[in-house]
Amino acid sequence: MQQYVETAPGVRLWTEQRGPADAPPLLLVMGAQASGIGWPEPFVDALAEHHRVIRYDHRDTGRSTWSFDTDPYPISALAEDVVALLDGLGIARAHLAGLSLGGMLGQLVLADHPERVASATLMGTNALSTRPYTAPDGTETPVEELPGIAPEILEFWARPVEDHGEEAELDRRVAHWRLLAGGRLPFDPEWYRDLERQIIAHTGTYTPPSAHSRADPDGLLRTEELAANRVPVQVVVAPAEPVFPPPHPHHLARCLNAVRVTEIPGMGHALPPAVQGPLAAAILAHTGATG
């Protein structure tokens, strides 16, 4: 079932729900510039066997309102959208799963509206905390000294995006996915190309979104609130993660008092077929254990 939900004045978000209407709700929160279609169909179907799964387009992606150029907003507004989306769908409390920026938005909801979250699974993200990372041997590392984003990805992001037609844009997106995938699993360019074709067809344009990279990122830290977290959190460790590589997941787990830390073999900053089954199983194990 598809429907639009108004989350702020003049802002409507496209949503899709799948699975039994009376099953526990599970909200999938995508990363920056990413449509909800980025959650692959088989992965959503696997989760929908046990949940009322909701995926949605952030504002300025997919079929949701594109308004940043005339009405700019901070990144934190995307977390407010999460709560307003639950309100609009009549959901008092949901399980959350967030990837990349979606993992940061999940942390903001955990910090500011913990009563709305039954459990959270966070992946491909960093902690919104200034708490240093403490290694198993007791060594402390300041947040600013934790590993950064892979240089080749930073270089890719710094390149200007030029319009040379849809096929060239697909080439660019596949090249981006090759970097994000991390290199430990075989890379199937046609799978990623097909995924991006679906996103373009859903959106109605091949023009890539850019609003989230321009939105104000200030005010996201929640050090004390996350330290007080009591919502059951699972942190996914992706050993090939090139954006927030280990030990970022372990740091996040400590900052949030996570009850589970689960490694998905070969996973990077992407959701190819090889990781979808193990990841869905990990999410279902967590939501099943936490009610």
pLDDT band with cut points at 50, 70 and 90 for residue 291: low
pLDDT at position 290, please? 59
Is the model's pLDDT at 122 over the cut of 60? Answer: yes
Structural domain that includes position 104? 2-146+210-290
Answer yes or no: is 230 within a domain: yes
> Residue 101 pLDDT more than 90?
yes
What does the pLDDT look like over 178-200, one tens digit per residue? 999 999 999 999 999 999 999 99
Report yes or no on 167 lying in a domain.
no
* Across 88-108, average pLDDT: 98
Confidence label for 28 from pLDDT (cuts 50, 70 and 90): very high
Q: Is 82 a residue whose pLDDT tops 90?
A: yes
Indicate whether 55 belongs to any domain. yes
Is 86 inside any structural domain?
A: yes
Neighbours of 183 (CB within 10 A): 12
When pLDDT is averaged across residues 74-82 and rounded to a whole number, the result is 98
Contact 43, 276 (CB under 8 A): yes
In a domain, 185, yes or no: no
197 found inside a domain: no
Within a domain: residue 231?
yes
**3-class secondary structure for the chain?**
CEEEEEEECCEEEEEEEECCCCCCEEEEECCCCCCHHHCCHHHHHHHHCCCEEEEECCCCCCCCCCCCCCCCCECHHHHHHHHHHHHHCCCCCEEEEEECHHHHHHHHHHHHCHHHEEEEEEECCCCCCCCCEECCCCCEECHHHCCCCCHHHHHHHHCCCCCCCHHHHHHHHHHHHHHHHCCCCCCCHHHHHHHHHHHHHHHCCCCCCCHHHHCECCCCCCHHHHHCCCCCEEEEECCCCCCCCCCHHHHHHHHHCCCEEEECCCCCCCCCHHHHHHHHHHHHHHHHHHC
Residue 86 has pLDDT above 80, yes or no: yes
Is the pLDDT at 17 greater than 70, yes or no?
Answer: yes
pLDDT above 90 (res 280):
yes
Mean pLDDT of the chain: 97
Provide the domain count of the chain. 1
Cis peptide before 247, with omega less than 30 degrees from 0? yes
Residue 289 pLDDT grade (very low, low, confident, very high; cuts 50, 70, 90)? low
Rounded Cα gap, residues 78 and 58, in angstroms: 7
Q: Which CATH number goes with the domain that contains 95?
A: 3.40.50.1820
Q: To the nearest 10°, report the CA torsion of 237, 242, 246, 248.
A: -90
Q: What is the pLDDT of residue 268?
A: 98
Mean pLDDT check: name the lowest of 72-81, 235-244, 280-289: 280-289
| pLDDT tens digit sequence for 204-251 | 999 999 999 999 999 999 999 999 999 999 999 999 999 999 999 999
Q: Domain for residue 221, yes or no?
A: yes
Q: Both tokens of residue 193? A: 């190309």
Give residue 263's pLDDT band: very low, low, confident or very high (50, 70, 90).
very high
- pLDDT exceeds 90 at position 129: yes
